[in-house]
Amino acid sequence: MEADHSSSATEGMQAAVFHGPDNILVQRTQYFQDRPALKVNSCAVCSYDVRVFRNGHRKVSPPIILGHEVCGQVTKSVQMTNGTISEGTRVALCPIIPCLDCVYCRTGQYNMCLNLKEIGSTHNGGFAEYVSIPKQTVKMGGLVEVPDSLSDEEASLLEPLACCLHGLQQLGPIHDARPVVIIGDGPVGLLHLQLFKNFVGTRTVVVGKVHSRMQKARSMGAEAVLEYNEDIATRVLDFTGKAGASVVVIATSNPSAFDLVEKVAGKSSKISLFAGMPSGQKFSFDANWLHYNQVSIVGTFSSLPPVLEEAARVAAERIVDLSEVVTHRYSLAEVEKAFHTTETFGGLRAVINKF
Ligand SMILES: [Zn+2]
Ligand SMILES: [Zn+2]
């Protein structure tokens, strides 16, 4: 008589498994059906995913499933501290997995956790049929219901939108009329553009390189969109006036952004280092420029559950239109194509949809 293995809690699922640089396989893999999980509806491709796919990353030990910008439906009801999320509810996921016990976690700064793990880096992520939900995610309130007015693929972008909102919070109040300069015309640059224009209410200039994206920045209402070249600093200052920018957002992983920052940031300005840089990247500013001009440089990383909730509200009220940012759609089997689109700056965000 044959043993019946199918009655165990383990079932197979389709997933794009990262095995090492340039090696990703769409294959059946183990999935524990008895644990709370999300059935993935959409998972957006972040440039982080592509960097890991090409080069690996110190945080990532293959084999692992990447993808951290997830919209899915809960497979069984989940008891959160602020109520129950019933089976089948669509949610966005806060991908950080904090220990809940360190000095940062005890004060709610989960993204600064000393023992931080992350869905899509150290825990299997969203380029799969299912993502299991860690206990910590539930405890910190890391599942946020998606408003009905948002599509699945829009909801997959709530995570990067939350990161941008979190970056804005790190800057503190912005109380002057000088323009904001965003360096970078990618999805994150253009999410910042929409936030500064429609949420903060500032005049905004985008510095870009990719013509189709620069066109998109114009259609989203940037007051100026300037192409990056040798005299870019002069042209930015022509727009801001000699007083320079109130805020400069670095939304590109290209370190040449630092040279531009020092030339265009005004007195009492705030610089948001939003993008991850190549590892080991250093930058230098003139110390007295920083001192006498009262310039602040702020790093920002990931976000927190309340910010993800705020992102859902901002997107549902169309303060930020996420549909403008989704430009390419792929099936799970086409994940490498989606990565290729991302690394060649095709459109803005590519999304893997349910299959
Ligand atoms: Zn991301
Ligand atoms: Zn912790």
HSE value, Cβ hemisphere, 13 Å, CA-based, for 46: 27
pTM score of the predicted model = 0.95
- For 122, the token pair is 């150290």
The band of 31, judged by pLDDT with boundaries at 50, 70 and 90, is confident
Q: What are the tens digits of pLDDT across the range 257-301?
A: 999 999 999 999 999 999 998 889 999 999 999 999 999 999 999
Ligand at minimal distance from the CA of 302 is 1
Looking at residue 175, what is its pLDDT? 80
- 308 in helix, strand or coil? helix
What span, in angstroms and rounded, lies between the C-alpha atoms of 257 and 274?
12
On whether the CB atoms of residues 93 and 38 are closer than 8 A, the answer is yes
Looking at residue 203, what is its pLDDT? 95
Q: What are the tens digits of pLDDT across the range 84-139?
A: 999 999 999 999 999 999 999 999 999 999 999 999 999 999 999 999 999 999 99
Torsion on CA atoms 45, 51, 52, 57, rounded to nearest 10: -140
Looking at residue 146, what is its pLDDT? 98
Looking at residue 10, what is its pLDDT? 63
Check residues 190 and 277 and name the one with the higher pLDDT. Answer: 190
- Mean pLDDT of the 251-257 span: 95
Assess whether pLDDT exceeds 60 at residue 7. no
The band of 174, judged by pLDDT with boundaries at 50, 70 and 90, is confident
Looking at residue 3, what is its pLDDT? 38
- For 135, the token pair is 């206990």
Write out the H or E segment, with its range, that includes residue 228.
none
Give residue 280 CA to ligand 1 midpoint distance, Å: 20
On whether the CB atoms of residues 97 and 134 are closer than 8 A, the answer is yes
Ligand at minimal distance from the CA of 111 is 2
DSSP 175-227: -S-SPEEEE--SHHHHHHHHIIIIII---EEEEES-HHHHHHHHHTT-SEEEE
What span, in angstroms and rounded, lies between the C-alpha atoms of 275 and 73?
30
Ligand at minimal distance from the CA of 102 is 2
Give residue 46 CA to ligand 1 midpoint distance, Å: 4
Ligand at minimal distance from the CA of 100 is 2
Domains in the chain (CATH in brackets) are 9-157+325-353 (3.90.180.10), 163-299 (3.40.50.720)
Among residues of the chain, what percentage have pLDDT more than 90? 91
Looking at residue 5, what is its pLDDT? 41
Give residue 43 CA to ligand 2 midpoint distance, Å: 26
Assess whether pLDDT exceeds 50 at residue 327. yes
> At residue 212, what are phi and psi to the nearest 5 degrees?
-65, -35
HSE value, Cβ hemisphere, 13 Å, CA-based, for 159: 29
